[in-house]
Amino acid sequence: CPWGAPNTASISCSLADVMSEQLAKELQLEEENAAFPEVVAVAEGPFITGENIDTSSDLMLAQMLQMEFDREYDAQLRREEKKINGDSKVSISFENYRKVHPYDSDSSEDEVDWQDTRHDPYRADKPTTTPRRGFIGKGKDITTKHDEVVCGRKNTARMENFAPEFQVGDGIGMDLKLSNQVFNALKQHAYSEERRSARLHEKKEHSTAEKAVDPKTRLLLYKMVNAGMLETITGCISTGKESVVFHAYGGKSATEDKVIPPECAIKVFKTTLNEFKNRDKYIKDDYRFKDRFSKLNPRKIIRMWAEKEMHNLTRMQNAGIPCPQVVILKKHVLVMSFIGKDQIPAPKLKDVTLSSEDMKKAYYQTLNMMQQLYKECNLVHADLSEYNMLWHDGKVWLIDVSQSVEPTHPHGLEFLFRDCRNVAQFFQKGGVAEALNERELFNAVSGLNITADNEVDFQAEIEALEKMNEDHVQNHGKKLATFSSDGDPPIYDE
Ligand code: ADP
Ligand code: MN
């Protein structure tokens, strides 16, 4: 045999060797268990159902190590890049050799804890105007929309409309001007990519319906447990199209002044789905986002939903509306107090059978909350229905406010009317004789006095009001303080 005779003798080893190997293994296991007890606790949670715990924690560890390795590699690469470039005016970029795509990297900016923002950054009231007439300027400085530069910039901005997965880079930051031809070719490509990704995604979604958390998110959750902020993440309460909600037992707070609730809900906004595209209309036209939206990459836009939910919850909390209390926001993961007890979430209003007395109580409370939300928080829920109201401790709690907008949002009043329709229908069907109809409810909440007695005319008047505000924005560069009202909305009470 050209390879030589197999030497079986060399395999044999002494009993002592075997013993010590076993001992080493045992020791290692022991050590691992002591060092990473939480890994198992997290891993055996809902994300890896039906799988061997050991394997999943190995996978988890491997992923964490890989991420750490990639980060270190990139850091080294950056150092080398810096060394080579020195003070030279012309620099070489190593970006293409990085392990972590810039979009995925945890840059220091990304680490910003929005909780530390002293004020609500969305309270801005300086919306920007866009020229309506298709030209700006006067005399020979006139620029029309057919101007090459303007048109090029517009095309670049329009790239933001492509699917979140379609990475368009920071064209706006670079003041990139795309010709129509290039833009159209890109658009074509983006759409076919979107369709392809949707197809792929559909398959993936079916196979991983329950474990919708990617390694990065897992790592984030793991860090929270490891830091002691959360005791254990016990299980998944809900998997929606846009978010996954987990239950967790609260741990200890790093700071004295903050108390972590004994039970928490963790809302993880999905970073992978196209679904968020459908919500563009909420955010795109929101004055609070005008300046920021165009500059953000898709990942950040999804984080913005979490951020928005946090700020809206805080406003509601300040107004005394029963709602989850914000614990912490990390990227696209929002931790809040759990509405419910012993891991059992409070039922949605649609799932609970209330006595007629409780139903009436719930109605008046909802009416009050809608008024408070509008008047004191300057918000319209925009997805209010029996699905997003929980019944707990004998009262209604409002949740799911990431899409909530200010009343002067270009479609704010339409959203409010939709909310009113849902609420009115629910309580009327629920047998509350006192329940106002949707139009009365709308007036009661907004303090407006729209007199139309049928849905179509009412809707038309709402749209006219919205248009009035838009025109005001166009002409004065700022939105109306409030919609003109006939005095304060009457506060309804029992
Ligand atoms: P989605 O956008 O997926 O509808 P939600 O915020 O409505 O997100 O959360 C989905 C579900 O998770 C809710 O219907 C509710 O049952 C549960 N849930 C969310 N937040 C909490 C919380 N703070 N306490 C208890 N249950 C919650
Ligand atoms: Mn919901």
Each residue of 351-377: pLDDT tens digit?
Answer: 999 999 999 999 999 999 999 999 999
d(CA 488, CA 447): 6
Most confident range (mean pLDDT) of 11-25, 178-192, 270-284, 416-430 is 416-430
Asked if residue 136 has pLDDT above 80, the reply is no
Average pLDDT of the chain? 77
Q: Does residue 422 have a pLDDT over 90?
A: yes
pLDDT for the residue numbered 302 = 82
Q: Is the CB of 338 under 6 A from ligand 1?
A: yes
| pLDDT for 99 beyond 70 | yes
Mean local confidence (pLDDT), 23-30: 74
Backbone dihedral angles phi then psi of residue 409, each to the nearest 5 degrees: -55, 140
pLDDT at residue 55, as a whole number: 45
Average pLDDT over residues 170-193: 73
| pLDDT interval class at 208 (50, 70, 90) | very low
Residue-wise pLDDT tens digits, 424-466:
999 999 999 999 999 999 999 999 999 999 999 999 999 999 9
pLDDT of 168 over the 80 cut: no
Instruction: Decide if pLDDT at 167 tops 70.
Output: no
Distance CA 200, CA 208 (A): 13
What does the DSSP 8-state code read for residue 244? E
CATH classification number, 348-480, choose in 1.10.3720.10, 3.40.50.1000, 3.30.1360.170, 1.10.510.10: 1.10.510.10
313 CB within 6 A, ligand 1: no
**pLDDT attached to residue 51:** 32
Catalytic-labelled residue, pool 106, 147, 175, 383? 383
Q: What is the pTM of this model?
A: 0.65
Does 176 score more than 60 pLDDT?
A: yes
Give distance in angstroms: CA of 241 to centre of ligand 1. Answer: 12
The residue with greater pLDDT, 17 or 423, is 423
CB atoms within 10 A of CB 181: 9
Mean pLDDT of 245-250: 96
| CA 473 – ligand 2 centroid, Å | 32
Picking from 124, 119, 134, the residue whose alpha carbon sits closest to that of residue 477 is: 124
pLDDT of residue 56 exceeding 90: no
Give span(s): CATH 1.10.510.10, the chain. 348-480
- Looking at residue 68, what is its pLDDT? 81
**Farthest-apart Cα atoms in the chain, separation:** 102
Q: What is the mean pLDDT of residues 153-174?
A: 62
pLDDT of residue 290: 56
Residue 157 CA to residue 444 CA, distance in Å, equals 40
Residue 9 pLDDT > 60, yes or no? Answer: no
User: What local confidence, expressed as pLDDT, does residue 32 receive?
Assistant: 62
Q: What's the one-letter identity of residue 383?
A: D
| The ligand 1 atom nearest the CA atom of 239 | 3
Where is mean pLDDT largest: 2-11, 78-87, 323-332? 323-332
Q: 135, exposed or middle or buried, with CB in 10 Å at 0-12, 13-18, 19+? A: middle
Q: Where in the chain is the domain with CATH 3.30.200.20?
A: 211-345
**C-alpha triplet 428, 362, 483: angle, nearest 5°:** 80
Is the confidence at residue 423, as pLDDT, over 50?
yes
Q: H/E element holding 341?
A: strand 340-341
Ligand 1 touching residue 265 (CB < 6 A): yes
Q: Give the Cβ contact number of residue 373 at 10 Å.
A: 27
Please give the pLDDT value at position 487.
Answer: 45
Q: Check if 383 is active-site.
A: yes
The answer to whether residue 28 scores a pLDDT higher than 60 is yes
CB 243 within 8 A of CB 220: no
Average of per-residue pLDDT across 199-217: 55
Among 3.30.200.20, 3.40.50.720, 3.40.50.300, 3.30.499.10, name the CATH number for the domain at 211-345.
3.30.200.20
Confidence of residue 131 (pLDDT cuts 50, 70, 90): very low
- Block residue for tokens 């909530």: 404
Cα 44 to ligand 1 centre (Å): 22
Indicate whether residue 237 lines ligand 1 (CB < 6 A). yes
AA letter at 53:
I
Residue 244 confidence (pLDDT) above 60:
yes
